[in-house]
Structure 1
Amino acid sequence: MKTKFRTLLASTAMLLAGATLSHAADWKYAFEESLTDVQGVYATKFKEAVEANSDHTITLFPYGSLGESADIMEQTQAGLLQFVNQSPGFTGALIPEAQVFFVPYLLPTDQDHLGRFFKNSKAINEDFVGLYANQGLELLSMYPEGEVAMTTKSPVKSCADLDEVKFRVMTNPLLVESYKAFGATPTPLPWGEVYGGLQTNIIQGQENPTFFLFSTKIYEVTDHITYAGHNNFTTALMANKQFYDGLSAEEQKVVQDAAASAFDYIVGYQKSLADSELDKIKEAKPAMTITVLSDEERACFKNAAAEVEAKFIEMTGEGGKAILDQMKADLDATRD
């Protein structure tokens, strides 16, 4: 009897192990940066949390592994990828209201305020969730990556200095309008063409957070970094909605908790990154000029912001206006 009981226990254990393995899955997660950039660090923390609290594994696909930003979004919507990290700069063509993140001077440069805003904003945590769901996406998290800087071949002290400058922008209609309002000639290009475009003078400027200027070596093909305080780079983690809805309640909690813990980590991580990476740029290229525009020098850019905000409302209608108003209310509510 004892032998039979032991055999039964062993068989049961093997069946349970087989059931666990059959339900375990390798989830695929693509993002727009390298593994050591902000999105890569966030993805790594997310992966660690999921794998520590479930039987699932996650394979990470950094920028270029599966194509450009448009490619990884298409693959996620088709269910080939379970997770995608993408900026509203690219998602804005799919979800017009997401272009609100490119209204100049809407977001503050204060990183503590930004962290509180992203964590507690009704617009982000409620309103945008429904908008993303309409496109087959489950919005899991939005987070900041740092203040955006302009890098150019000629110095920029005012909007007049951008006159006739071919300035690379993401394929985002409102970002195009922003740089038109700033006086530049906006030129939408996929990221893979930017370094070469600057090198050959097809374009003469682009914008990105400071850490990205260093990691992608864009400083090698530009000569001036300018901080106008006009924007903060925002990005978002999404899941294929059909995949997410098919998870058990326990699995959904694992995913949500992993997104939340990665958010808490990255908000702190990216705060000091701009300063440390700017120091590396200065060391690598001492001739690079770094300019923080004064309030007086920012005036023309701030004046242009009203024009861009009006254009956003024109593009997105009452739905966009409601999102914009809610974000402004959320920003006010999260001030010190």
Structure 2
Amino acid sequence: MKITKPIRHIVTGFALASALGTVAAADTWRYAFEEAIDEVQGVFAQKFKEEVEKNSDHTVQLFPYGTLGESADTMEQAQAGILQFVDQSPGFTGSLIPEAQVFFVPYLLPQDTDALARFFRNSEAINEMFPELYAEQGLELLTMFPEGEVVMTTKEPVTGPDDLDEVKFRVMTNPLLVESYKAFGATPTPLPWGEVYGGLQTNIIQGQENPMFFVESTKMYEVTDHITFTGHNNFTTAVMANKDFYDGLSEEDQQMIQDAIDVAFDHIIEYQEGLTEEALDAILEAKPEMNVTRLTEEQRQPFMDAAESVEQQFLDMTGDSGAEILEQMKEDLAEATSD
């Protein structure tokens, strides 16, 4: 049958659109993260995007928190290849990769920011051991980086574990974090992030933890009255690629991605200098009556004592593989803190 001119135009147009669609899908990479575009993960993602687009013909489309659902949704999309890149805390991948929960062993990571940066940059556990575990879940681990000291925000003052008795404390859906707050004396309550502000407002929960910049940007101080620096952790996050996607790239593109990751890592470490103090100043300006407590070494000791049982629970959960990672991390941390 002869194709008339109008139909031929339609067919040709459809073929062209399909071809263009294929090209666009190949060249546009989708990257989702757990924070707003102007928060730490967003700043990292923007720098990564800038470097990729400066050094290749590819473009990177960014999806801040909430645009593609909750953290569980974006992880599923990354594993399915709908997303090429995802930034997600081990707090949410702990059930998927139990060994990643090591980052929630209290008082394991140093508070010194320079030592912390050296650890994340050079750690054998992070750069050689964890990639194998992520690969088993269809993910290429590109980097991990710290986001700042975690603080507790609560409705009542906290100077020791006794003050957390019967306090419903929001935690990420992470088994070891649940155990940590049990050890700290609280009633851990896993909740998706989108429900936390309302939960505090209605007293369903009475506390939560996050880095200071996130407490400020999400206005957690509006629904709590006390900020407590316990020194128990530094928030960690991981940037991953869908492994099938990554393995299918040319060596040139893989190197370009790693170079972009390295530049973004250095950028985010520099960006965070003074960020905690700036966020705290902004909170106190917005709410001068906010109470800020930095626990003394003596006040921290009961929390540190409780952390010993949490470390043992991590080992019970993860067996030999967890023990090997924890041992290597302690060696890496010793090297990072001795420089």
How far apart are 1:268 and its partner, in Å?
A: 1.3
Q: Could you tell me which residue of structure 2 aligns to residue 237 of structure 1?
A: 239
Counterpart code for 2:217 = S
Per-residue Cα deviation, 1:255-295 (whole angstroms, up to 9, x for no partner): 10011100011011112110001100000000100100000
Are 1:258 and 2:260 an aligned pair? yes
Separation in structure 2 between the aligned mates of residue 319 and residue 65 of structure 1, nearest angstrom: 35
Are 1:104 and 2:87 an aligned pair? no
How far apart are 1:22 and its partner, in Å?
A: 3.9
State the TM-score, normalized to the length of structure 2. 0.92
**Between the two proteins, what is the percent identity of the paired residues?**
70
Per-residue Cα deviation, 1:239-266 (whole angstroms, up to 9, x for no partner): 0000000000000011100111000110
Q: Could you tell me which residue of structure 1 aligns to residue 89 of structure 2?
A: 87
Q: Could you tell me which residue of structure 1 aligns to residue 70 of structure 2?
A: 68
SS of alignment partner, residue 225 of structure 1:
strand
Q: Could you tell me which residue of structure 2 aligns to residue 330 of structure 1?
A: 332
Q: Could you tell me which residue of structure 2 aligns to residue 36 of structure 1?
A: 38
Separation in structure 1 between the aligned mates of residue 108 and residue 177 of structure 2, nearest angstrom: 13
How big is the alpha-carbon RMSD for the aligned residues of Structure 1 and Structure 2? 1.2
SS of alignment partner, residue 238 of structure 2:
strand
SS of alignment partner, residue 284 of structure 2:
helix
- Select which of 156, 167, 170 maps to 2:169: 167
Separation in structure 2 between the aligned mates of residue 128 and residue 219 of structure 1, nearest angstrom: 35
Counterpart code for 1:257 = D
Q: Is the 8 A contact 1:151 1:226 kept in 2?
A: yes
- Select which of 202, 211, 218 maps to 1:200: 202
State the TM-score, normalized to the length of structure 1. 0.93
Q: Could you tell me which residue of structure 1 aligns to residue 133 of structure 2?
A: 131
Counterpart code for 1:25 = D
Separation in structure 2 between the aligned mates of residue 22 and residue 295 of structure 1, nearest angstrom: 58
Q: Is the 8 A contact 1:31 1:85 kept in 2?
A: yes
SS of alignment partner, residue 89 of structure 1:
helix
Q: Could you tell me which residue of structure 1 aligns to residue 79 of structure 2?
A: 77
Counterpart code for 1:111 = T
Per-residue Cα deviation, 1:100-123 (whole angstroms, up to 9, x for no partner): 000000001111000000000000
How far apart are 1:171 and its partner, in Å?
A: 0.1
Separation in structure 1 between the aligned mates of residue 232 and residue 189 of structure 2, nearest angstrom: 19
Separation in structure 1 between the aligned mates of residue 45 and residue 191 of structure 2, nearest angstrom: 25
How far apart are 1:334 and its partner, in Å?
A: 1.2
- Select which of 183, 186, 200 maps to 1:184: 186
Q: Could you tell me which residue of structure 2 aligns to residue 291 of structure 1?
A: 293
Gaps of 5+ in 1: 1-17
SS of alignment partner, residue 63 of structure 1:
coil
Separation in structure 2 between the aligned mates of residue 288 and residue 315 of structure 1, nearest angstrom: 38
Q: Could you tell me which residue of structure 1 aligns to residue 51 of structure 2?
A: 49
Per-residue Cα deviation, 1:185-242 (whole angstroms, up to 9, x for no partner): 0000000000000000000000000000010011000000000000000001000000
SS of alignment partner, residue 106 of structure 2:
coil
Gaps of 5+ in 2: 1-18
SS of alignment partner, residue 251 of structure 1:
helix
Separation in structure 1 between the aligned mates of residue 23 and residue 158 of structure 2, nearest angstrom: 58
Separation in structure 2 between the aligned mates of residue 99 and residue 129 of structure 1, nearest angstrom: 15
